Amino acid sequence: MPTVTLSQQEVEVVKRALQHCLDTCQKGGAEAGCPDCQSLLEVLKKLS
């Protein structure tokens, strides 16, 4: 898998987009443990 280098600004944009996606999913009533949400949470942890 290739390595991607992002600026801090780019990382912040990605983090906001991921959080927005998670918030939208949760507002829609997605069940806890949704595989996509779990994957997004793991990515957010790596970026923090």
> Residue 24: its pLDDT value, please?
85
Cα 37 from Cα 43, distance rounded (Å): 10
Show the tokens assigned to 37: 């949400």
Angle between helices 35-47 and 8-27 (to 10 degrees): 150
Q: Per-residue pLDDT tens, the chain, 48 aa: give them.
A: 889 999 999 999 999 999 998 888 878 776 566 788 888 889 999 988
